Amino acid sequence: MALVEVDRRERGIVLVTLNDPDRRNAMTVEMGEAIAATFSDLAGEDDLRVVVLTGAPPAFSAGGDLAMLEDFAERTRDEGFDATDDMRRFYERFLAVRDVPVPVIAAINGHAVGAGLCVALACDLALVADDAKVGLNFARLALHPGMGGSWLLPRVVGTQRAAELLYTGRLASGTEMAQHGLALESLPASEVLSRALDLAGEIAASAPLVVRQLKRSLAVSPTNTLPQQLDLEAANQAVNYGTEDLAEGLAAGRERRRADFTGR
């Protein structure tokens, strides 16, 4: 059984499923290696337009591998082991979800806890099940957040709410978390994946080059000045003027029809 399943849909949409339901898709080393390999392969696909990431029910991911944490804790206490490098490599495997040049939608169809939520936060967009338990419970395990949690969460929900959630380590419902901005919306668990795929279809209908440009532009926007962002926008538009897709988009606008973009 593959720990990560890849299902290629039409129009460059790819569904990636974390597939270890018996362990609620725990963030094991093996799962990390599978995610890293999967997203490395996807990053090289020219026809890729959108990725949807979900978990095999009943969870999106229940979080870190407790056996690994217990092993590191025992070795640190007994041998003076320093887990810094191991943890850094561990994070990088899972955060490979950020390396694809197209939007990644997290379909949080069930509980997303600790490192499992961090992977969802690393995606560009998220939808969450109403009754999912969601949160970064590291502090309640006596463990500092990892997997970029202390960097990702403030950027998604704001500094005050992130501080409250990180300091308390509490879990909240998907409904509450969507209200805090963690996801676009919350909805019944049975509808999360279909809604995510519908959203992926809407994105895939846009010009692929522009969507890829936007992914890069949005990534640097928080640290760019307005003049820097204007320079970036002008440079991107200069590229667009020479594309077949812009000619198609303008023609579709004149003819009041939906454009059919090819990525050229």
- pLDDT of 263 over the 90 cut: no
116-168: per-residue pLDDT in tens? 999 999 999 999 999 999 999 999 999 999 999 999 999 999 999 999 999 99
The whole-number pLDDT of residue 64 equals 85
Residue 43 phi, psi (nearest 5): -60, -25
Ordered by where they begin, the domains of the chain are: 4-204 (3.90.226.10), 208-255 (no CATH)
Buried b (16+ CB within 10 A) or exposed e, 97-134: bbebbbbbbbbbbbbbbbbbbbbbbbbbbbbbbbebbb
- pLDDT of 15 over the 90 cut: yes
Percentage of the chain exceeding pLDDT 90: 94
Q: How many residues are given for the chain?
A: 264
Q: pTM for the complete prediction?
A: 0.95
Strand partners, 16: 6, 53
Mean pLDDT of 67-83: 92
- pLDDT of 229 over the 90 cut: yes
107 three-state secondary structure? strand
The whole-number pLDDT of residue 226 equals 98
- Please, which pLDDT band fits residue 65 given cuts at 50, 70 and 90? confident
Mean pLDDT of 88-114: 96
The whole-number pLDDT of residue 12 equals 96
Average pLDDT over all residues of the chain: 96
